[in-house]
Amino acid sequence: MPTPDVALAVGVITRAACERIAHTAFDLASRRRKRVTIVHKANVLSKTTGLFRDVCREIGTMYPSVEVDDEHVDAMAALLVRRGGDFDVIVTENLFGDILSDLAGELSGSLGSAPSINASARKTMAQAVHGAAPDIAGLGRANPTALFLSSAMLLDRLAVKGDPFLGGAARALERAVADTIGDGIATADLGGSASTTEFTVAVVERISAA
């Protein structure tokens, strides 16, 4: 803050970091629905997010099987609400990603169902998008779906790194969660009456029966 009434923030975008996340996005898309959407704000932040967009497009040429398009972040927020199912892998910088991930989580029915992983070339950490919920701690009301699905994402990541058995474990966990909710067992945030423990037991039972 150069004065008490002025605050400045500098956005730092590097080619190396853009290339790293772009390769991750396109590699992931090549194993999914083969579409990457680059989200930026290059019409305003032309130097920083413009570099991000352009580098991602350059990397995209190395993945000819993957379709690529791009959207401004404000338009993307609207498009996720209007036709979110049309998109597959969205690659963007941290601030925009933080906002859009919460939006996407809520569109799924509840932030309690939104999984995530933080991954580098050597390490991966799984966590729910929503973070901690101390106001409901110990009440049996928390939705464990996000943690189950975050664990599945972690297993998937480890499978890509060299243990294909873990990919099957990820699919089994995802199916168990989907089947549990499909059978009408859900926590309160999804309109159900199951407690955290009841939902967890139901998922474990479906994994055991698979």
Domain range summary for the chain, segments of one domain joined by + = 10-107, 111-210
Contact yes or no for 33/66 (Cβ under 8 A): no
Contact yes or no for 54/16 (Cβ under 8 A): no
* pLDDT in the model for residue 30: 95
Mean pLDDT, range 175-195, rounded to an integer:
94
* pLDDT in the model for residue 102: 86
Q: What letter would DSSP give residue 6?
A: B
Contact yes or no for 56/25 (Cβ under 8 A): yes
Summarize pLDDT for 133-179 with one digit per residue, the tens: 788 788 888 899 999 999 999 999 888 877 778 999 999 999 999 99
* pLDDT in the model for residue 138: 82
* pLDDT in the model for residue 129: 80
Instruction: Place 109 in a pLDDT band, splitting at 50, 70 and 90.
Output: confident
Residue with tokens 């350059």: 58
Instruction: Place 56 in a pLDDT band, splitting at 50, 70 and 90.
Output: very high
Mean pLDDT, range 85-110, rounded to an integer:
91
Nearest CA to 69 out of 39, 44, 45, 42 is that of 39
Burial of residue 189 (number of CB atoms within 10 Å: 0-12, 13-18, 19+): middle
Report the chain's mean pLDDT, rounded to a whole number.
Answer: 92
Share of the chain above pLDDT 70, in %: 100
Share of the chain above pLDDT 90, in %: 73
- 61: Cβ contacts below 8 Å, ≥ 6 apart: none
Cα(170)–Cα(187) distance, rounded to whole angstroms?
Answer: 22
What is the identity of the amino acid at 86? D
* pLDDT in the model for residue 40: 98
Return the exposure string of 154-166: e unless at least 16 CB atoms fall within 10 Å of the residue's CB, then b.
bbbbbbeeeeeeb
Instruction: Place 105 in a pLDDT band, splitting at 50, 70 and 90.
Output: confident
User: What is the Cβ-side half-sphere exposure of residue 128, based on CA atoms within 13 angstroms?
Assistant: 17
Instruction: Place 196 in a pLDDT band, splitting at 50, 70 and 90.
Output: very high
Q: For domain 10-107, give its CATH number from 3.40.50.1110, 3.90.1300.10, 3.30.450.30, 3.40.50.2300.
A: 3.40.50.2300
Summarize pLDDT for 22-38 with one digit per residue, the tens: 999 999 999 999 999 99
Nearest CA to 145 out of 172, 174, 118 is that of 174
Summarize pLDDT for 79-95 with one digit per residue, the tens: 999 999 999 999 999 99
Q: How far apart are the first and last CA of the chain?
A: 58
**Pure H helices in the chain:** 15-30, 48-60, 73-83, 94-107, 145-160, 165-182, 196-209
Nearest CA to 102 out of 133, 134, 131 is that of 131
* pLDDT in the model for residue 185: 96
Nearest CA to 103 out of 65, 138, 74, 61 is that of 74
